[in-house]
Amino acid sequence: MGVSFLYLQKKSLNKDAKHYFTFALSIDCVVFGFDGKDLKILLIERNEIPYANHWALPGDLLDPKDDLNNSVNIILKNLTGLSNLFFEQVETFGEINRHPQGRVITTSYFTVVNQNKYKVNPASFAAKAKWWKIEKANELKLAFDHNIILNKCFKRLQDSIRTKPIGFELLNQTFSLTEIQTLYEAILKMKLDTRNFRKKILQMNFLKETDKFQSNVSHRPAKLYRFELEKYELLKKEGFSFEI
């Protein structure tokens, strides 16, 4: 790294250095939403070139004066009205021809939210904003290389639930074991054996049984659980191996 820095220092002494400062940076926000049944992705319909009238991930060019990580929520709010979300950085995409107007390197971030708790308000160059099922989004020809970015982030999410607990931000304060299994199935896109799943999820010790039961259901009311927050946060920090 030191060699590269010294090299750029030398290059900055002459006009040839401008060659290394001619590309742009952007941020793409991958927002997954869980509605209690399905996992969806938030897309915007662009109303400016390039890719006008195409669906895309919420994203924009980064102002040279702005910090990379701090700009994620700013860009998302400007386009969708959503703000104050916790994002995880995933990957940087730098293919030479990924943007038709010039060299643009983009960094992707993802988050997962309870879709029912957020109201989307498209603005700026986002003519519309809509939640799409993952399968339907992949059938669209998204702008730029956003199909690739979407699937990279989706794979990261699928991998992460095998090593970190998930659900505190996505479920109600109390929930049934069926509801948390539905969440895991929505993310993993697979049907899980109920007995095996319940045995393993309870062994993680981040769920605490309550004295409450479901209400207003047509079947036998199920027992409700809540998250044991201290254990939940510890496992988020330290991780675990959850093979389903």
What single string gives the DSSP state of each residue in 169-209?
A: TTS-SSB-HHHHHHHHHHHHTS---HHHHHHHHHHT--EEE
Half-sphere exposure of residue 134, counting CA atoms within 13 Å on the CB side? 23
pLDDT of residue 16: 72
The token pair that represents 46 in the structure block: 């662009």
Note the pLDDT of residue 217: 72
Tell me the domains of the chain and their CATH numbers: 15-160 (3.90.79.10), 177-238 (1.10.10.10)
Give 212-233 pLDDT, tens digit per residue: 987 877 678 889 999 999 999 9
* Interval 113-168: pLDDT, tens: 999 999 999 999 999 999 999 999 999 999 999 999 999 999 999 999 999 999 99
Q: Looking at the predicted structure, is the pLDDT value of residue 11 above 80?
A: no
Q: What is the pTM of this model?
A: 0.89
For Cα atoms 232, 237, 243, give the angle at the middle one, nearest 5 degrees: 70
Evaluate if residue 207 carries a pLDDT over 90: yes
Grade residue 41 by pLDDT with cuts at 50, 70 and 90: very high
Q: According to the model, what pLDDT value does residue 1 have?
A: 47
Q: Indicate the pLDDT class of residue 12, thresholds 50, 70 and 90.
A: low
> Could you give the maximum distance between any two Cα atoms of the chain, in Å?
77
Task: Answer yes or no: are the C-beta atoms of 138 and 150 closer than 8 Å.
Answer: yes
Cβ-count burial of 206 within 10 angstroms (0-12 exposed, 13-18 middle, 19+ buried)?
A: buried
Give residue 15's pLDDT band: very low, low, confident or very high (50, 70, 90). Answer: low
One-letter amino acid of 16: D
Neighbours of 142 (CB within 10 A): 19
Q: Which long-range contacts (CB under 8 A, 24 or more apart) does 174-179 make?
A: 174/210, 174/212, 174/224, 174/225, 174/226, 175/224, 175/225, 175/226, 176/214, 176/222, 176/223, 176/224, 176/225, 177/201, 177/222, 177/223, 177/225, 178/222, 179/36
What percent of the chain is predicted at pLDDT more than 90? 78
With the C-alpha atoms ordered 150, 142, 136, 120, is the resulting torsion angle positive or negative?
positive
Q: Residues 96-102: what's their mean pLDDT?
A: 91
User: 17: which DSSP letter?
Assistant: G
Lowest pLDDT segment from 8-12, 105-109, 188-192: 8-12
Contact yes or no for 22/49 (Cβ under 8 A):
no
Beta bridge partner(s), residue 129: 44
